[in-house]
């Protein structure tokens, strides 16, 4: 399961690595580094969203059968504070595991060198279950 990130080129571009992948719950880590900065020197909101969306897609995959896949249908992010520190933690958990739709929530947390933390973002998102794995 920890290899699920293997095929995720974009997650690799962001240097995202998994810390925990369990049934209905995923935690990932993304380093704070210049290549993900916006114009003010903080992590770009799009990179934060990418971390959270990567966490929720992996979370959705823990819930489905081998002959299914999932696709994001919508996501909404509230930004709570600047993306800074040493790295950003992205955690996803399941709100509803339905027959057709999976609803999850995810949180981004800045972790500083001294171990202190601060809220960065909160996301809710809907995934749809597809009946067979999609491959391009």
Binding site for its own copies (CB under 8 A): 4, 7-13, 34-47, 49-54, 57, 69, 71-81, 84, 95-96, 98, 100-101, 103, 105, 119, 122, 124, 126, 128, 134-136
Report yes or no: 4 and 63 within 8 Å, Cβ to Cβ. Answer: no
Shortest gap between Cβ of 45 and its own copies (angstroms)? 5
114 vs 135, which CB is nearer to its own copies? 135
60 vs 111, which CB is nearer to its own copies? 60
51 vs 111, which CB is nearer to its own copies? 51
Shortest gap between Cβ of 101 and its own copies (angstroms)? 6
> Over the Cα atoms of the chain, what is R_g?
15
Shortest gap between Cβ of 29 and its own copies (angstroms)? 15
Report yes or no: 98 and 31 within 8 Å, Cβ to Cβ. Answer: no
Tally the residues of the chain: 136
E strand intervals along 11-135 = 17-22, 25-31, 69-79, 87-97, 101-111, 117-130
Shortest gap between Cβ of 50 and its own copies (angstroms)? 3
The HSE-up count of residue 21 (CA atoms within 13 Å, CB side) is 19
Tell me if residue 14 falls in helix, strand or coil.
coil
**Cross-strand partners of 105:** 93, 124
27 vs 69, which CB is nearer to its own copies? 69
């Amino acid at each position: 399961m920890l290899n699920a990130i293997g095929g995720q080129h974009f997650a690799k571009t962001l240097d995202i690595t998994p810390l925990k992948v369990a049934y209905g719950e995923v935690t990932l880590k993304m380093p704070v580094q210049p290549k993900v900065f916006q114009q003010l020197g903080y992590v770009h909101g799009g990179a934060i969203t990418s971390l959270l969306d990567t966490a929720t897609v992996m979370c959705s995959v823990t819930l489905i059968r081998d002959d299914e896949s999932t696709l994001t249908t919508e996501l909404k992010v509230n930004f709570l504070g600047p993306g800074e520190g040493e790295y950003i933690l992205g955690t996803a958990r399941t709100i509803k595991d339905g027959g057709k739709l999976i609803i999850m929530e995810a949180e981004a947390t800045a972790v500083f060198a001294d171990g202190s933390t601060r809220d960065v973002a909160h996301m809710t998102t809907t995934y749809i279950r597809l009946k067979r794995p999609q491959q391009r």
